[in-house]
Structure 1
Amino acid sequence: MRTVTLQPLGAVLSVQPNERILQAACRLGFHPPQSCRNGACHICAATLLSGQVKQQGQILAEGEIFTCLAEPLADCTLHWEAVLTAGELPRRRIACQLVDCTDSGADVFRVLLRAPAGAKIRYHAGQYLRIERDNGESRAFSIASTPDCGRELELHILAREQSAKDLLTQLQRERLARVELPFGNAHLAQLPGRPLLLIAAGTGMAQMQSLVDSCLLRGFNYPIYLYWGARLATDFYHLPHWDDWQQAKNIHLCQVVSEDNDWQGRRGLLHQAVCADFRGQLKKLQTHICGSPEMVYATCDALIAAGMAQSQMHADVFSYAPRQED
């Protein structure tokens, strides 16, 4: 058995005797660039940084190798670009047609995009995309639809800041959106074997919609506890799926308002409501959180203090806005 370390990914492959490197990578669940598998296309080429390989009768100790042909003779290190881990999907840039832009209340617009015919869009429930602006900048939005929706992509855009208003104006003027996807690690490529706790503030509900609908489509039978928070009751926008979720036996919905004395429902902060409802039971849950970095980290701190492990919590904030260590 030989080990092959992949850079810049940092993964280590255990390659069996007489097994080629590409075969080992595929067997272990990685998704490397490949095509012909006979050394003709060069798509699987990598650079041998250390070690030795046998390739078509030659012994190589450096330079370019073809992983579909190369068998390691010693532990090796390769520079091999574009290798994806299990569950990771390749990113694509596509131009989508604007199908609809509907006012859903509370300054939130439900935007429906459609990818071109023949364009295969792949993402996991809970991931997000980026829309390119005319000025070259891009903005990130959670994908509210599920991977089962085919060419359709749904977004929830809060149009209070001028930049968001300008983006909506651009989309409606051009009837086109240039997007890149997928992004994000807080997804459900695999369904967990325990109940889900979903916590969202504002349009963080877009991510939760994708997660909930995907669970329903895939026959997830564990309880789903969904908490949606807003500062005022008027900040809740219309969700067409909400009534259907209320009819599902394993979905439990809770709206929490923090600053509205006229609200007759649950009041306070999201993490306060969750900690009160799951006192002593947090270790049984897998948790996904979506909101501003401040909201996510405040919620995480409260849940950890109440007994939840950091490993149970999933949020894209952990990647794009990591907390600075003191």
Structure 2
Amino acid sequence: MNITLQPSGFKLDVRPGERILEAAHRLGYECPHGCRDSACHVCAALLVEGRVRQNGVEMNQGEIFTCLAEPLEDCLVHWDGVLASSVLPVRELTCQLIECQAVGGDVYRVRLLAPEGEMPLYHAGQYLLLQRETGEFSAFSLASAPHQGRELELHVFARDGSSKGLPGYLDREGTARIRLPFGDAHLAELPDGPLVLLAAGTGMAQMHSLIEHCRARGFTPPIHLYWGVRRAEDFYEISHWADWQKLPGLSLHKIVSDGWEGRGGLLYQAIREDFTDLKGLHIYASGSPTMVYATLDALVEAGMDAHQMRADVFAYAPRS
């Protein structure tokens, strides 16, 4: 059956027995939903033409819930908020603070809950802007993945500078004003080959999002994570680390630039040691502009095509 959506004009080819929301997700559309079998009303739409079956009842007009509605013939449905996978609107939300916990290395794990009925839309690997006490907004990578719904996670480095007082401010307020999503170093679509993820410090947040998204989507090619810090005590607690260690397709590497008993050196040195052939790798990097560009240059010198590497630095700190 063909479902035509208004006002977007998108057309869904729905398989027999498939619900409208299921078809939209299979075809890569971003849709408003809360996944509570219509109890949340987030996925509500208006049936304009055609027939659907919902909870055993046939309907030919009126409000339907796309998580339950199974088309019986071609339909015309008015469903606001449906977007193509590559296009997400920037929204501003006031979120409830769930947790602001020190996890080591002067890093705080900040967990936020978006308002009910205002599902945050973003791709794995994107970042948000968080309002500080001064009223200014600063960028923080999302450590959560889209399948986590209303819950968002950030890793905030609060050793010095403007972020030092941020955890205390969030604790006092109990809420956080955010804008999202931003960034093009994301996984709107899963790649067809191995992933190499390079994280410096709290750049780990972005990689956390990518790994959790891949886990949720059943990604099967190998994933190689390289997490680098200056000193060993700068590593912080990752709640899923123990689970990741059990995954056969995921290789974890911790690297310290200033000597320790484990692996030392720089991230790009580790990549060059581990991969004699860089072709076919999809490389994501998160860190300072200096780190990202040094890594890019070193890997290009080793035979990587520059287009294989993605990083938000390329957009917000372009070099001539």
Equivalences for residues 124-273 of structure 1 within 5 A: 124-260=123-259, 263-273=260-270
Aligned length: 255
1:314 and 2:313 are equivalent in the alignment: no
TM score, norm. by length of structure 1: 0.73
Partners of 2:130 and 2:242 lie apart in 1 by 30
1:304 and 2:303 are equivalent in the alignment: no
Equivalences for residues 97-108 of structure 1 within 5 A: 97-108=96-107
Partners of 1:215 and 1:30 lie apart in 2 by 18
2:281 to 281, 285, 289: 285
What amino acid maps onto 1:230 in structure 2?
V
Partners of 1:86 and 1:206 lie apart in 2 by 22
Give the gaps of 5 or more residues in structure 1. 1-21, 37-83
Superposed CA RMSD in Å reads: 2.7
Q: Is the 8 A contact 2:126 2:184 kept in 1?
A: yes
Q: CA offsets, 1:33-84, max 9 Å, x none?
A: xx99xxxxxxxxxxxxxxxxxxxxxxxxxxxxxxxxxxxxxxxxxxxxxxx8
What amino acid maps onto 2:270 in structure 1?
A
Q: CA offsets, 1:83-133, max 9 Å, x none?
A: x87512101000001111111001000000001111121101000000012
State, as a whole percentage, how many aligned pairs show the same letter: 54
Partners of 1:86 and 1:256 lie apart in 2 by 35
Deviation at 1:134, TM superposition (A): 2.9
> Do the aligned partners of residues 273 and 182 (structure 1) sit closer, same or farther apart at CA in structure 2, a change above 3 Å counting?
same
Partners of 2:126 and 2:29 lie apart in 1 by 20
Deviation at 1:150, TM superposition (A): 1.0
Q: Is the 8 A contact 2:85 2:188 kept in 1?
A: no
Q: CA offsets, 1:148-168, max 9 Å, x none?
A: 111100000000123112222
What amino acid maps onto 1:319 in structure 2?
A
TM score, norm. by length of structure 2: 0.74
Q: CA offsets, 1:193-243, max 9 Å, x none?
A: 000000000000000000001101100000000000011111100111111
Alignment partner, residue 8 of structure 1: none
What amino acid maps onto 2:313 in structure 1?
V
> Do the aligned partners of residues 213 and 23 (structure 1) sit closer, same or farther apart at CA in structure 2, a change above 3 Å counting?
closer
Partners of 1:271 and 1:293 lie apart in 2 by 14
3-state SS, counterpart of residue 279 of structure 2: helix
What amino acid maps onto 1:132 in structure 2?
Q
Q: Is the 8 A contact 2:140 2:154 kept in 1?
A: yes
3-state SS, counterpart of residue 221 of structure 1: coil
Partners of 1:162 and 1:195 lie apart in 2 by 37
Dislocated runs of 4+, deviation >6 Å = none
Partners of 1:162 and 1:273 lie apart in 2 by 30
Partners of 2:235 and 2:29 lie apart in 1 by 41
Partners of 1:277 and 1:256 lie apart in 2 by 13
